[in-house]
Structures are given as C-alpha cells and as structure tokens.
Structure 1
C-alpha cells in the first residue's frame, strides 16, 4: 500500500446503493482494474441480474462522500454432503490510486466480510499475492489452490521452444498421432458418445446433486449456469453435452470458452455412468476438430477428478490461492471443488 497524505479519519464504509452508486463504482473499476469497456456490463450482470443478488460495499472519502473504493460479495448456493450453505464470493475489491492506504483498505475489506457473514455461512475469495497479507489479517484461511491445467493437443508449437523447427514438427506429429489413437481406443465406435453443442444449458442435464462426502461444492442448476455463462458479458461460452445413443440424459458436460486456439473448460461434470477417460477423449476429439491446439482448465478438484485429468495428459502450469472465512473455529468442509463457475469473471 502506498503512503498518501489523505487522513484516514475522513474515510467511511457503507452499503452501496445499486442505483445511486453504480456509476461511482464503475468509475473506480475502470481506473483501478482495467478492461474499461466491460465494466458497466459487469456491474449490471453481477449485481443487478444475478439470480441470488449481490452485496456492494463502498468506501467514501471527504465531505462529499465520493466513492473511492468498492468491495462486492456475490451470493452463491453451495453444499457439503446433504447440508446446504449460503456462501459469499468476494469480488471487485478496488481502491483509487490516491487512496490506497492500509487503513481504509482494511476497513473496506473488514466491512465487506463482516456484512456478508451476517447473511451467509462462509465468505471466500481469490486474492492476488499483494492482497494475501490483508485477508490473513482479517481471519481468512488458506483452503486450497486454483491450479491451471493444460493438455496439449498439437505438440509442435510447444516442441519448437526446445527443438529446431523440422524436428519439432516431426516429433509433434508423432505425439499428436499417438494421442489421437489413444483417444480413439477410449471411444470405440461401438460405444461412441454422441456430442451436442448448445449455446445455453439444458435443464434436464443439471439435476440437483447430493454427495456423501465433506467437499464444499457450488450448486448448479440451469438458471444459474445460464446466468453465469450464457448471459455473461465478459466472455462467450458454449456447452458441450455427451450422451450415449440410447439415453436421453447427458452423461457428461463441459462449459467451454474459445480463447484463440485454446479451448478453456470453465466448468464440467461427469456422471457415475461414464468413464472420465472416455468423456475427455471425446472432448479432445471435438477440440481438435475445431482447430484447437490445447485444452485448459483452472480448478481446485478432489483427488479422484484431478487424477483423471492428469491421466489424460493435463499438466499444471501455475496456482492461485483460495482463502475463506466462516462462522466458528471449525471449517464446515474438509476439501473443496471449484472451477470458473465459482468465480466472478
């Protein structure tokens, strides 16, 4: 935090009024967070249009009460086993550069957390490296990491970083052929999964799920998935559904975002009736057919799902921490499952 001359006593934090403070909040985001063009759309989508609503805290300065900082909390339905929880997702923590004192920043963060915990069971977020000391000071605990996992589908571009171009092309073609043969064997014609792309989620593919473990998971239904992905102003997503020819209900699905020649998986699920290896093999075939060179997913998964991704060839590139704070001393979960579905962008 930089030392600025403004005295901390002139700052106050209060509940933001979405109609009155929207322009001030968007102005702070544009000055502090970048992506100028998409900020107003983000405000409408995340705060006004979310199925469960959202909370906005604003940092005011001076006698005019100008908005110089924001902290948002989006409400999320989550579950641990058969217990339903209400969670608050921390979002849009931003302070104008002339007001980035430690005191006001802590005041804003503390107010957002305390206000949220009055209405929910836990609060979680994905702080950057500079913000980690602040959230620790406020009682948040490290509960996991979002790992960026990448699976190469076309290997020559990666091999060119280490080998001469002719060797990279030859080696890449050999590896690509081997993986295509592997995926073909995992999805033999007599057991082929049918693939269907949709612009919006299919209601029948997202029934309520109850798990018999102590893993914290976001609850998904067609309405929430439609809001999070189909109606997002920040990126374009499509849903890939896989099903057996004789079955009406999909056995696996993926929420996908095309990013150049990389297919990013923002969310996914395998049912108990399909092998993850088969579903991932079909996903890879679809991505190759679309001209993608790699699959990528950022997630925090239970070991069984993480192991399935590793066996398919996903390799970790980087990590971001997840911090949470809850009522009481004992965490209401022993592990977490999170994807981009559980974030705000």
Structure 2
C-alpha cells in the first residue's frame, strides 16, 4: 500500500497505563489535521482485536511507539512494535518512530529502537516541539513551505539574486502569506529599490492583507521615500486612502495632518466609493498637504493630484500649477527613481470613484 493510499497518518502504540496522557496527545495531533489510529477510537464492540490492530498498523504511514516505564513491560506493546518493525524492515512503507514519555530516558529504549532518532514527550515544551516534528514529517510540503516562509521573511543575504526572488514572491497573486513574507524580506534591503517594489505591490488591487502590509512597511521607510510613495498614491485606490494617511501621521504626528482629515477618516468605506462629496473631501485634504513642510509629503500631494487627473479617478475638477508639478515630478524622479513611471502607468486595477 503506497503512502498516498494509507488510511491513517499515524498508528499510536502505547501502554494502557499511559492512556490519559496518550489520548490527550492524540487529540492534539488530530486537531492539527493528522489522521490518527488510536485503539479507543478505531476498535468497536465485537471487533477482532488482532485483526483491527494489524490492519491499523499496515494502514498507517507512521507507527508512533510511546516508550515509558509501563510500555517496556507490556505484552501488547511488544506485539504491536514487533509488527511495526517487521513491516518497516519488509519495506511496506510503515516507519516506526519511538517517543519517550513519563520517567523513561534514552538508555531505556528497547534494542530494536535504540538506533532511531527519538521524539520526546516528557515535558510540555518537548511535547509541543515533537508535535510540530510529526506534523512536518507527515506533511513534507508543509515543512518546505514553512522553510520558504522563513527564508523570505529573514533572507540570509541582501544580494541581487535574493532581491529578485523576493520581488517575484511579493507579486505571487495567489498566496498572500507568501507575498507578505516576501514584503517583510524586501523591507530589510537598504535604499530606494526595495521601497519602489513595495510601492508597486501596494498598487495592485488583489490581496487586501498584502496591500495593507505594503502600506505599513512604506511608513517604516520614510528615510528612503516611503512618505513620498504613500502620499503620491493615496488617491489611486480609495480603499486604502485612510490607512495611507494614518501611516503618514505615525511619522509626522497626527496634529500635522489637515483638520479636514478628521471628517474624512470617519466616513464609511461605502461612502468613500459612492458619494462625490466624500471624494471631494479627500481631495481637499491632499490639496492642503501640498503646502506641508515635509518635501516628501508636499511633492507627493502634487503627484497624487496629478495622477488622479491623469487617470480620471472621479470627476472632481483639478487645477495644478504646471511649474509646481514639473518641480514635483523632478523631485519624485530623484527621490524615488521609478515612482513617476508607476504613477504614469496608474493603478493595476483601481477601485475608482463611481
């Protein structure tokens, strides 16, 4: 029977004297999504014990043998263990995994198990770690995914190849967990290229969690143009207008935003998207920001107004001084190279005012 055809992930072998502790562990494994064979769950009144046990062992991918001071003297445990070891030796795709519990130590392992890597279920911390190992063992794809997520979140090196890999995963568009991990890796790269890539991902319409993470990370990179990116794109996707201004306020202080923002921030999402007055109020806030003392915010506000007009987001009338706009364009190109190209291209699939 191939592992893919197995009915159970784990057959549990134990002494009845350890029943309470083992049953709790089995429940925890079951809650993690593993298919467990446990005698009290699998054997019904009238069943032939030996037949059910033998079928359970053969029908499981792993044979988990709990070794305690009780089980080493148990005839049933010895019988089950002998069956499991025989199937493993015969290559029947049953793998025996010893697990210590109670007062047993490694020196007390039966000779047939002494050469095997052994799990530890003797303390709560060890139980948690061993359950994780079993889940990874049964589901290797989960282990590979966990390793990939760790690699994306905490890259070992900040070289070009790693940067390119993180950019690919940041634009995965099928798995937000991978995208968020890649963004958290990208933000560790110094300089503006990482900020531009995070900005690029924030402009795609798919993945609310990913977009929210990108916006949050831009607020943490104010020194590399993060505020410029947030301000200049705040009118591109109306769903995230308030979040972007909130991230800006975390850096410059809430009192530094125009008073009119207090009215806008309490407007519901539906009102943002359907009511022309709500859009006008948002635009008014951005208009006021173009006079802010922070050059990233002031120039970003001009770029936001220009981008809104360029891509016909809403129907609010906008007049922009050409000289000021040219200066803002030059500022944006120098401060965050590539940003003005993103603004010219527009949002990937914007939520526009209707």
TM-score, length-scaled by structure 2: 0.24
Write 1 or 2 for the structure with the bigger share of helix: 2
Of structures 1 and 2, the one with the larger relative CO (CA 8 A, separation 6+) is 1
Q: Higher strand proportion, which one? A: 1
TM-score, normalised relative to structure 1: 0.25
